[in-house]
């Protein structure tokens, strides 16, 4: 771990890319070792993500929380949009099953087609740990904490600090965080959106967070807005039992 930390701190690009890639790789492992692994791998990636944030904190100087009324407003509005748009457009899974899977089948790669979401159990600790309320609430707490405090720094640094500025100029550190560039703005938001199952809400969310960075000229407000959105969404999931958002 110490060697990885030293390596990350030696390169501005690695410090912003590798933590997100590791986090994404652990996300891909969720459910690969049985239904229960979805929860244990989420715990693992949350712990690993927190350690990675700590490792790169000294060198990724823009990774600093900042509070402002704009961040609060954007975070709340993005939450409302995310919930409000649900069910009004096809999900990424529906698009995959409708367009990608037939294409894969036509070229003999049917086994590459992802399993439809309807064939999978929802991410619901109350179902998975029906015999233990303590375990169920533990993993709910892990999910809320991870999405609120770990996901925002990792994603905002990767997308808003690195990808956005790298598209503008490979020497990304020379690009001010507040610089607006239309192509980079659209491409970065699209990449961010298609990382999520709710792709349209994700793209609009990317516009909002990237706009906040350009407006304020710093990353911290977007981190705070992102954290607030995820916290409100987590509370909504718990209150309404809307596990499809997780």
**Bigger pLDDT: 185 vs 5:** 185
What average pLDDT does range 106-123 have in this prediction?
A: 77
Residues with Cβ within 8 Å of 179's Cβ and at least 6 positions away in sequence, in order, are 165, 168, 214
Distances (CA, A) of 184 to 12, 13, 31, 63, 210: 19, 17, 34, 20, 10
- pLDDT above 70 (res 241): yes
When the pLDDT of each residue in the chain is averaged and rounded to a whole number, the result is 93
pTM of the model: 0.92
Distance CA 239, CA 226 (A): 20
Residue 167, number of CB atoms within 10 A of its CB: 18
Confidence of residue 118 (pLDDT cuts 50, 70, 90): low
What average pLDDT does range 82-89 have in this prediction?
A: 93
Tokens 């990449």: give the residue: 191
pLDDT in tens, 121-146: 788 999 999 989 999 999 999 999 99
Which run of H or E residues covers position 21?
A: helix 12-29
Kindly compute the dihedral angle of the four CA atoms of residues 109, 111, 117, 118, in this order, to the nearest 10 degrees.
Answer: 110
| DSSP alpha helix (H) spans, 146-181 | 151-155, 164-168
Q: Are 233 and 216 in contact (CB under 8 A)?
A: no
- Residue ranges of the domains in the chain? 63-245
**Bigger pLDDT: 212 vs 244:** 212
Q: What is the pLDDT of residue 3?
A: 79
Which run of H or E residues covers position 77?
A: helix 69-84
Confidence of residue 108 (pLDDT cuts 50, 70, 90): confident
Residue 117 DSSP symbol:
G
Helix (H, G, I), strand (E, B) or coil at 50: helix
What average pLDDT does range 11-35 have in this prediction?
A: 94
How long a stretch of residues is the chain?
246
């Amino acid at each position: 771990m110490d060697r990885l930390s030293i390596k990350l701190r030696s390169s501005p690009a690695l410090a912003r890319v590798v933590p997100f890639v590791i986090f994404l790789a652990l996300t891909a492992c969720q459910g690969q070792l049985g239904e229960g692994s979805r929860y244990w791998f989420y715990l693992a990636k949350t712990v690993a993500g927190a350690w990675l944030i700590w490792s790169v904190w000294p060198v990724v100087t823009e990774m600093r929380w900042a509070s402002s009324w704009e961040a609060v407003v954007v975070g709340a509005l993005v939450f409302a949009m995310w919930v409000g748009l649900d069910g009004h457009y096809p999900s990424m899974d529906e698009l995959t099953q409708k367009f990608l899977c037939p294409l894969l089948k036509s070229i003999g790669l049917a086994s590459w087609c992802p399993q439809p979401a309807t064939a999978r159990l929802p991410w619901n600790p109350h179902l998975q740990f029906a015999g233990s309320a303590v375990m169920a609430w533990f993993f709910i707490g892990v999910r809320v904490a991870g999405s609120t405090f770990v996901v925002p720094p990792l994603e905002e640094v990767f997308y808003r600090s690195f990808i956005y500025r790298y598209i503008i100029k490979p020497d990304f550190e020379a690009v001010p965080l507040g610089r607006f560039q239309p192509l980079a703005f659209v491409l970065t938001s699209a990449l961010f959106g298609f990382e999520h199952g709710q792709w349209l809400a994700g793209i609009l969310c990317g516009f909002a967070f990237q706009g906040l960075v350009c407006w304020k000229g710093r990353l911290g407000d977007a981190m705070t807005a992102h954290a607030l959105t995820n916290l409100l969404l987590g509370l909504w999931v718990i209150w309404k039992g809307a596990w499809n958002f997780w």
